[in-house]
Structure 1
Amino acid sequence: MTLFNIAFTNMRKNFGQFSMYLGSLILSVLIYFTFVSLAYTKSIGVIFEKWEIGGQGVFMAAAIVLILFVAFFVFYSSNYFTRSRKRELGLYSLLGLRKSQIGRIIFYENLMMHVMAVVSGIVIGVFFSKFFSMLLFWIMDLSIDSGFTFSVSAMLSTMLVFGIILVVTTANGYWIVYRYSMVELFKADVREKNPAKGSLTLSIVGVCLIGFGYFLATRPVEDSIFWTDNFFFSSMLFILFGVILGTWLVLRFLFPYIVYKLFLRKSFFYSGTNILTLTWLRYRMKKTAGTLTMIAVLSATTLTIIGTLSSFYTNIISFAESSNPNSYQTAWSTETEREEILEAIRESKLHTLVYHEAVDVYKGEVIDKVDESVPYRDQRMSQFSVMGLSDYNRLATKLDNDSKRIKYLADGEAIFLSPVGGFENKQRADLWMKDPYTVTFKNNPVQYSLEIKAIYNHEVFNMDMVSSTLIVSDRIYQEISQKTMPKHIDIFQVTNEDRAEVLDHRIQKIIGGNPYMYNVSMSSFYSNYHRMSTLIGVILYIGMFIGIVFFAATGSIIYFKQITEAVDEKPRFEVLQKLGMSQKEVRSVIAKQVLPVFLIPLILGICHSVAALIGLSVNLMYSVGAPVMISTTIYTVFFIVYYFVCVNTYTKMVASGDD
């Protein structure tokens, strides 16, 4: 029998043992191939080129990051999988095979698994390409037909990447074979001679490190002494390394300390199967602390990436809508251009004109002395666009978008419209309203003292054309208009504005300019909204893929570690079953042993990510609640699924099957 036949027969007869590792490989190939395929898809490339957002470059840069994580994930899984088969490799040596021959068997097994994984992953990726394309277009809020795609470049890239991974994992297998003698291969991992008792002092140090890291992460950058220019970098490093070190100390000393105290409580220790669970935990905690720390950090990273990007996407899309209340705005358009725009809307089959309005606004400069010694974020406004009270109420009534109507404004009073008001902190809002502004207008000798009485978090103009709008009384507005050159704004509101690409092109030809780029003479809801949704959608989509890889790596690290321990623990459970323990009781013991390995890193990971996201919310002033709850719930559900799969596999490996 050839070495290849030995490898093939071993895989065929022990396919259950190989299945989890093969599944990890297939998932890795599927993720990478699908991701790279999208980068090479022509329709997506056209979108990136059209909006000039450099999306393909972002995709390829993310692909490099994805390669690193996939390589780490596969290597780690392969390492644990090979180590779990040490006795099998020792048996080969006992039967007379040289180490070079054992290494070749490992190579053939790896080769077959990688070939099956690459073929399966690519085939599944082709069938899932339509789904993932539709998902990307849905995230970008674009109505584009997507079909099945197959990219030769993506296939060759996948084969190259996983060919390199095959070489690395095979070299690791050779290293394990040559590192251990035959006797060492047959030995189980040495259990700790002195069971861990933990340390209350070091546990407190760990909790304090984590707590202070949370404190720093949730401080507002603008106000905290810890985030000044002198301490900014140091604070970032402390949060990163302090929280990781604190996590390791908690897992290395606090958890063993709790287990030790439970061990001393005889009533608990001798209750049911606790004697087995606590004994196992006491003798495994030292070696497990590093792995659990890695799992907690990976969980925190996964949840933070997904939570941040989903929250960012939700808030940016909301901002894109609120900052572009009008379908179209044109500035300084002629009577001929207005008639041509109205004619284009009338000829459109998908859109009808809701209303057409015209408003004059006036650009004013603030002449109050600016304190340039303070950061820009702490300075007051330097210019405004001024409109009249009657014009504002007329547009607010037309928009019907929860805009507040204003009953009365005295001379010298003003309302400030700020669609980013929800993002601003209270300190800056108070700064805007603290003292009146002295405002002047071009070719107007009169200076106006205007005091902001309230800030409304909405707009009546598209922000890219008219921003920092002040609403003043009609008398002041009329006085300004008599001596100042206006900026004339035409507003065209149409139905189905989010699907107005064709109409956009036609109106843009009338006004002049690139249909998808910023135009000083025209503002379009469709262009402004989809430029933002496309860019942030791509970023969210990439983050989802990286998050999936992180999650798969997290679950697989736990799974393979537990399966490796199952091989070592099998003799112990065989003895227990001979003494009368039923398979149900074996499963109960295993479930209790495995639970802390899943539960504790999950709780720590969620806590770390929540602290990071609270800090993000505090400093960026946007809500993270709903997206974070959804992503954390989904992550927890899949983590629970991993837990039950691990318990089932562990039980099958150590139980004899006799009930």
Structure 2
Amino acid sequence: MTLFNIAFTNVRKNFNQFSMYLGSLILSVLIYFTFVSLAYNKSIGLIFDKWGIGGQGVFLAAAIVLILFVAFFVFYSSNYFTRSRKRELGLYSLLGLRKGQIGRIIFYENLMMHLMAVVGGILIGIFFSKFFSMLLFRIMDLSIPSGFTFSFSAILSTIFVFGIILVVTTANGYWIVYRHSMVELFKADAREKNPAKGSLTLSIVGIFLIGFGYFLATSSVESSIFWSNNFFLATTVFVLFGVVLGTWLVLRFLFPYVVYKLFLNKSFFYKGTNILTVTWLRYRMKKTAGTLTMIAVLSATTLTIIGALGSIYMNIISFAESSNPNSYQTLWSTQTEREKIYEAIKESDSHTLIYHETVDLYEADVLENVNENVPFEEQRMTYFEVMSLSDYNRLAKKLNNHSQQVKELAAGEAIYLSPSGRFENKKRMHLYMEKPYTLQFRNNPNKYTLEIVDVYSHAVLNTDMAISVLVINDALYKEISQKSMPRHIDIFQVTNADKAEALDHKIQDIVGGDPYMWNRSLSSFYSNYHLISTLIGVMLYIGMFMGFVFFAATGSIIYFKQITEAVDERPRFAVLQKMGMSHKEIRTVIAKQVLPVFLIPLILGVCHSIAAMVSLSVNLMYSIGAPVLISTTIYTVFFIIYYFVCVSTYTNMVSNGDD
């Protein structure tokens, strides 16, 4: 019998054992192939070219990062899978096979696994390509038909990447065979002879490192001395490595300390099956600390990526909508251009004109010294445009977007229209209102003092054409208008503005400028909104993929670690079964043993991610509540499902003796 036949027979007869490793490989191929297929998708490429955002370059750059994590995912799975079969490899050696021949058997087995995984992953990827492209278009809020993706470039890239991974995993298998003697291969991993008692002092050091890392991360980058130019790099390094080191110290010394105290508590130790669980934990703590730290860090990374990008997506999309309330705004359009715009709207089958309005704005500079040493988030406004109270009320009524109507304003009073959102405005409102502004308008020698009495979290004009607008009373507005040059804006509100691509082309041609690009003469809801939604949608989609890879890697580490331990723990559970322990009791013991492996890293990962999200909120002034709650809940639910799957697999392996 040839070595290939041995490998083929082994895979065929022990497919249940190989299926776990094969499943992780297929998942890896599916993730990578689907992602790369989207990078080569022509329809998506045309969208990126249209908006000029270089999205395919972003996809391909992210693919490089994805390769590293997929390789890690596969390598870790392969390493645990091979180590769990050390007795089998020792048996080959006992039967007279040389180490080189055993290595070739491992290569043939890996080759078969990778071939099945690549073929299966690509076929599944092609089948689900329409779903993934539809998901991307949905995130970008684009109504584009999508079909099945079949890219030879993506297939070749997938074959090349997983061919390299095959070489690396096979080399690792050779290393395990050559590193261990036949006797060592037959031995199970040695249990710790001296169980860890932990250390309260080092536990406190770990908690301090985590706590101080949280303090630095949640401090304002603009105002904290730790984030100044002199300490920025050092602070960043400390936050990253300090929190990771603190996590390891907590898991390496605090967890064993707690278990040791439970061991000394005889009333707890001898209650039910606690004697088995506590004893098992005491003799596994040193080896478990590093793994639990990795799981906690990967969990934190997954939650932070998804939560941060979800928060940015929700806030920016909300801002894109609130900052572009009008379908079209034109600056200094002529009567001829207005008539052409009317005609273009009239000729459109999908759009009708709701109303046409005009408004004059007056630009003013703030006469106030700006302290350059003050952080940007604490600086006051340096520029405003003013509109009359009657114009504001007229446009607000037209929009019917719950804009607040203003009954009256005194001569020196103003209302600031800020579409940034209630969260940011609430934090900055004191800066706007702490003292009056002194304004001077263009070509106007007079100076005017205005006090902002309220801040509205909405706009009645598209902010790319009117970014900082003050509403003042009509009398003062009239006085200013007599001595200043206005900016005349025409507003055209149409139906279905979010699907007005064809109409956008026509109006862009009328007023001049390139389609889809920022234009000083035209502000378009469609262009402004979809440029932002496309860019941020690509970032969110890539982040979701990365988060999924991190989660898969986390699950891989836990799952294969538990399977490896199940193989080693069979003799112990066989004795317990002979002593009369039922299947239900064995499951209870295993559930208690496995629970800390899931629960503790999950808690630490959630805490780390919340600290990172609070940092995002403090420094970018984004509302993070809903994205954090949603991402954490979904992640926790999948973690719980993973937990029960691991408990069931572990129980079946030690109870039935199945490999």
**Shorter-chain TM-score range:** over 0.9
Partner of 1:324: 324
* Alignment partners' CA distance in 2, 1:314 and 1:38: 23
Q: CA deviation at 1:369?
A: 2.8
Residue 180 of structure 2 corresponds to residue 187 of structure 1: no
**Which residue is 2:138 aligned to?**
138
Given the alignment of the two structures, is residue 271 of structure 1 paired with residue 271 of structure 2, yes or no? yes
CA contact (8 A) 1:583 1:657 kept: no
Letter aligned with residue 610 of structure 1: I
- TM-score relative to the length of structure 1: 0.98
Verify: 1:626 aligned to 2:619, yes or no.
no
In structure 1, distance between residues paired with 2:39 and 2:534: 14
Paired with 2:656 and 2:233, the residues of 1 have a C-alpha distance of 56
1:379-436 CA distances to partner (integer Å, 9 max, x unpaired)? Answer: 3222211111110111111111121111111112111111125464656432332232
Aligned counterparts of 2:542 and 2:138: Cα–Cα separation in 1: 14
Preserved CA contact (<8 Å) 1:425 1:621 = no
Where 2:452 maps in the other structure, the secondary structure is: strand
- Written as runs of structure 1 = structure 2, the 5 A alignment for 1:151-550 is 151-420=151-420, 422=422, 424=424, 428-550=428-550
CA–CA distance in structure 1, aligned partners of residues 657 and 98 of structure 2: 35
1:204 alignment partner, SS class: helix
- Partners of 1:251 and 1:292 within 8 A in 2: yes
Kindly provide the amino acid, as one letter, of the partner of residue 587 in structure 1: R
Match of 1:4 in 2: 4
In the TM superposition, what whole-angstrom CA distance separates every residue of 1:216-265 from its partner, at most 9, and x where no partner exists? 22223333333333333332222211111111111111111111111112
Distance 2:10 2:371 in 1: 77
- For residues 321-349 of structure 1, the C-alpha deviation after alignment (integer angstroms, 9 at most, x for no partner) is 00001010000001111111112112211
Structure 2 letter corresponding to 1:364: A
- 2:656 partner SS: coil
**By how many angstroms is 1:574 displaced?**
1.2
Corresponding letter in the other structure for 1:50? K
Amino acid in structure 2 at the alignment position of 1:159: I
Asked if 1 retains the 8 angstrom alpha-carbon contact of 2:4 and 2:105, the reply is yes
State the match for 1:14 in structure 2: 14
Structure 2 CA distance for aligned equivalents of residues 529 and 33 of structure 1 = 30
Q: 1:524 to 1:263 in 2, by over 3 A?
A: same
Letter in 1 for 2:202: L
Cα distance in 2, alignment partners of residues 592 and 371 from structure 1: 60
| Counterpart contact for 1:126–1:150, Cα < 8 Å | yes
Alpha-carbon deviation of 1:193?
A: 0.6
The Cα shift of 1:508 comes to: 1.0
Deviations for 1:116-142, whole angstroms, at most 9, x for unmatched residues?
A: 000000000000000000000000000
* Deviates most, 292-301 or 424-433: 424-433
Does residue 552 (structure 1) correspond to residue 552 (structure 2)? The answer is yes
SS of residue paired to 2:416: strand
CA-to-aligned-CA distance 1:526-558 (integer Å, 9 cap, x gap) = 000000000000000000111111000000101
Letter in 1 for 2:146: S
Distance (whole Å) between structure 1 residues aligned to residue 147 and residue 414 of structure 2? 54
> Partners of 1:254 and 1:657 in 2: how far apart?
35
Q: From the superposition, tell whether residues 315 and 373 of structure 1 become closer, same or farther in structure 2 (CA, over 3 Å).
A: closer
Conservation of the 8 A alpha-carbon contact between 2:423 and 2:623: no
Gaps of 5+ in 1: none
Note closer, same or farther for the CA distance 1:599–1:377 as it changes in structure 2 (3 Å cut): closer
Q: CA deviation at 1:366?
A: 2.0
Compute the displacement of 1:630 (Å): 1.2
CA contact (8 A) 2:425 2:457 kept: no
* SS class of match (2:445): strand
- 8 Å CA contact 1:421, 1:455 repeated in 2: no
Partner deviation per Cα, 1:417-474 (whole Å, 9 max, x = no partner)? 1112546465643233223222222222222122222221111110111111111111
- 1:108 is matched with 108
How far is 1:374 from its partner?
A: 3.2
Deviation at 1:371, TM superposition (A): 2.8
Question: Which residue identity is paired with 1:609?
Answer: S
Local SS of the residue matching 1:460: coil
Mean Cα deviation higher: 592-601 or 207-216: 207-216
Q: Is the 8 A contact 1:422 1:622 kept in 2?
A: no
Runs (5+) with no aligned partner, structure 2: none
SS of the residue aligned with 1:488?
A: strand
C-alpha separation between the residues in 2 aligned to 1:425 and 1:265?
A: 54
In 2: Cα distance, 1:269 partner to 1:329 partner: 74
TM-score (norm 2): 0.98
Greater mean deviation of Cα atoms: 444-453 or 243-252: 444-453
Contact 1:226 1:235 in 2 (8 A): yes
SS in structure 2 opposite 1:445?
coil
**Distance change >3 Å, CA 373–CA 298, structure 1 → 2:** closer
